[in-house]
Amino acid sequence: MKFNLFTYIIYVLLFGLFLAPNVMAQEVNLRDYRMRFRFKTVKQPDQSRMLEASFIATNKKDRKDRLPVYGAEITFFNLLEEEKVSLGTTKTSKEGIARIILPKDQSYLKDEEGKVTLKAVFEGTDEMDMEEREITIKDVQLSVELAEKDSVQTVQVNAHTLDSLGVEIPLKEADVIISVQGMLSRMVMDEGTIEDGIYEFKMPIDLPGDVDGNMTVFAIIEDHDDYGDVVQKKTVKWEVPNISSLENENSLWSEVAPIWMYVVLTILLVGIWANFVYTITNLLKIKKEGQQLERSP
């Protein structure tokens, strides 16, 4: 049988592509990693509640080496003394995150103080130990109001809990973050403390809204020991529209783009095609040399 060098090289490359992931997987030793299993709850603006468990393996020597645990089955429970109610089961994503959403009318087991105990459990496998985390929170009703006081737009955050009889009890004290929705993320405007159920913040008068003049304001209680995470928002008509976004001349969809865009695009395209030509040329040379080797005695 004749030896074809070109075909042999192709087979080696293909075999290497299939082998590489397995080799990399074998290099990971679970003994070198510490499992980080965390659990939190977020009450969302629509009054639903998100339960989130994160499962990350961190290298004991290099903390920057983090590996998300993918496909781990996480079960969430609501506990009260000897009672245990399953709230749902899901698997972690490629980022090592498992989430379920409980509707706003979800019924919970509560103690005499109205506190709810939640638990996230990973049963474990032959390679990994069992992991579980438990948190106890009290439900908070959060609202955002925007009013004009002395020609100044003022954000007022109201917060209260409910006792066993449904009576509103103003929140004594809790840190709150005021932010507004930007194009890509939220922009923090202020950080303060809710006292006796109320917190007020004066918004900048020159802060524009979106193209239609709308502004979405968020009030966030974050990582509280007694209440977990609570998020509430309100969208209002802002009096200062974002005129700059209406008059954006040099945009990707305008008739004439900036010159630097043409230059960068040309360099990228030339580089890509040059790489194609270089690769094909070398492959043809390899094939020619292989044919010469086959003809030689």
pLDDT tens column, 175-194: 999 998 877 788 899 999 99
In a domain, 232, yes or no: yes
Please write the tens of the pLDDT for every residue from 2-25.
444 444 444 444 444 444 444 334
- Indicate if 122 and 208 belong to the same structural domain: no
pLDDT band at 250 (very low <50, low <70, confident <90, very high): low
Per-residue pLDDT at 40: 96
b/e map 170-195, b = 16+ CB within 10 Å: ebeebebbbbbbeeeebeebeeeebe
The verdict on residue 10 lying in a domain is no
Least-confidence region, from 4-8, 80-84, 227-231, 292-296: 4-8
Q: At what angle do helices 5-27 and 259-295 cross, to 10 degrees?
A: 120
Residues 120-145 have a mean pLDDT of: 93
Residue 117 is predicted with a pLDDT of: 96
The tokens for 1 are: 């049988």
Strands 228-237 and 33-43, by their bridges, are parallel
Residue 158 pLDDT > 50, yes or no?
Answer: yes
217 falls within a domain: yes
Q: Which residue has the higher pLDDT, 294 or 94?
A: 94
- pLDDT at 63 exceeding the cut of 90: no
Are 106 and 149 in a shared domain?
no
* More confident site: 209 or 255: 209
Other C-beta atoms lying within 10 Å of the C-beta of residue 268: 10
pLDDT of residue 263: 83
Domain shared by 158 and 223, yes or no: yes
Structural domain includes residue 89: yes
237-248: pLDDT as tens digits: 765 555 555 455
Work out how many domains the chain is built from and give that number: 2
Residue finishing a domain among 114, 138, 162: 138
What pLDDT does 288 receive?
78
The domain boundary, picked from 102, 123, 138, lies at 138
Domain assignment of residue 188, given as a range = 141-245
Q: Which of 146, 131, 223 is nearest to 177 (CA)?
A: 223
Last residue of a domain, one of 122, 138, 154: 138
